[in-house]
Amino acid sequence: MEKWVGAFVFAGLFLLAGLTFLVDDEGRLFAPRGKPYFAVFASASGLSAGDPVWIAGVKKGFVRAVEVEDGAARVEFLLDPSVSLYDGASASIRSGGLIGGNRRLVVEPGDRGKGPLEGRRVAARETAASVEDVMERMSAAMSEIEGAVRENSPNIKATLENLRKLTDRLEKGEGTLGRLISDRELYDSLKSASADLQAGMKGFRTLGESIEKGEGSLGKLVKSPEVHDRAASALANVDEAAKNLRKFSDDLSAGRGTIGRLASDDSLYRKIEKAVDDLSAAASKVSDSKGTLGKLVNDPDVYDNMRKAAENLAEFSERLKRNEGTLGRLLSDDSLYQEAKGFFRESRRAVEDAREQAPISAFASMFFSAVK
């Protein structure tokens, strides 16, 4: 009998030890097992133990506990052993429906390429506001609006009264805006202007179509290849001129060429300055009647002599023109010209005869000298 009692006690102790391993921290028997993780949130409002954990839209675990740790909410959860988390995994708290409902924990598994998650802590992401938070914020905003309306009630009433008066004036056609709204003549004018504007737009559209087709002078200017080539050639010429101008400015800056030397050569500048000074000095001497040129310019006697010489020369030319005097007769009398011409002809013949008789005269002189 004692043996049976001992066996029964031993079996009870064995069963108690087994139950110790099967019961979780919440006191639940045969609680599901999984990989333990945790995340720390600034607030875990509405989330409680037992709420589901979702991954990629699939329920893969549950919240094990929600505790306060250093002023923050520590949420511990279990995941299905088949689920693996990687580096960069995160968790956030979401509402179960559009109008609230149970909260749930949503886990992002992270980047598989970065390797498995080290440790048990999962980064907490910003948690979506709960319906209670939204309602609380809306209530606070409504309270602020109500206070502002109450504080500015006189101004609001005055504004509404002014709006009522304005609408009354508009309805009666008073004021500029009222006339714009109720004046039939103004309406007709606006309608006519609108019609004119439409006609103008139609004209512009027609003009655009003509230009697109290459019709008319403007169309030819836009579409003609010849005009395009001329414009391109003109632009090329302008570009070439700009390059030449730049080269000229570079040469001028570097002191190359005549103009460059004029612009940069100090010695040439000094020579020009000296020439100008010399010219100024010469002009001063002329003005002061110094030197030959100064006397010619300023001496009245020289001027009178030159004037008399010019008069004598004019008189002499008039006498020549009238065939007066020997030179005048030589210039105009053809008989004297013929006589002079005959004289020079006879003289040339005498010289030629003397040249021909010269050998005979020389021979005769030699002969008579020998005889003697």
| pLDDT tens, position by position, 277-323 | 888 777 776 666 666 666 666 667 766 777 888 888 888 788 777 77
Which tens digit of pLDDT belongs to each residue from 313-365?
Answer: 888 788 777 777 776 666 666 676 677 777 778 878 877 776 766 666 665 66
pLDDT 10s digits, 82-93 = 999 999 999 999
Cα–Cα nearest to 35, from 61, 67, 54, 53: 61
Residue 147 lies inside a defined structural domain of this protein: no
Locate 187 and state its tokens: 């309406």
Question: Structural domain of residue 284, as residue ranges?
Answer: 266-297
Rounded to an integer, what distance in angstroms lies between the CA atom of residue 32 and that of residue 82? Answer: 13
* Beta strand ranges found along 234-321 (DSSP E): none
Last residue of a domain, one of 103, 136, 169: 136
Q: CB count, 10 Å around CB of 193?
A: 10
Out of 281, 297, 313, pick the residue that ends a domain.
Answer: 297
Q: Would you say residue 259 lies in a domain? A: no
Domain end (from 136, 169, 196): 136
Residue 60 belongs to some domain of the structure: yes
Percent of the chain residues past pLDDT 90, beyond the cut: 19
In this model, does residue 154 exceed pLDDT 80? yes
- Choice between 32 and 333, residue whose per-residue pLDDT is larger: 333
Q: Do 170 and 181 form a contact (C-beta atoms < 8 A)?
A: yes
Question: pTM surpassing 0.75?
Answer: no
Domain count, the chain: 2
Distance (Å, whole) CA 215 – CA 212: 8
The whole-number pLDDT of residue 25 equals: 46
Cβ proximity of 39 and 122 under 8 Å? yes
Q: Is 89 inside any structural domain?
A: yes
Decide if 45 is inside a domain: yes
Helix (H, G, I), strand (E, B) or coil at 55: strand
Return d(Cα 273, Cα 262) in angstroms, integer: 12
Asked whether residue 201 is assigned to any structural domain, the reply reads no
Mean pLDDT of the chain: 77
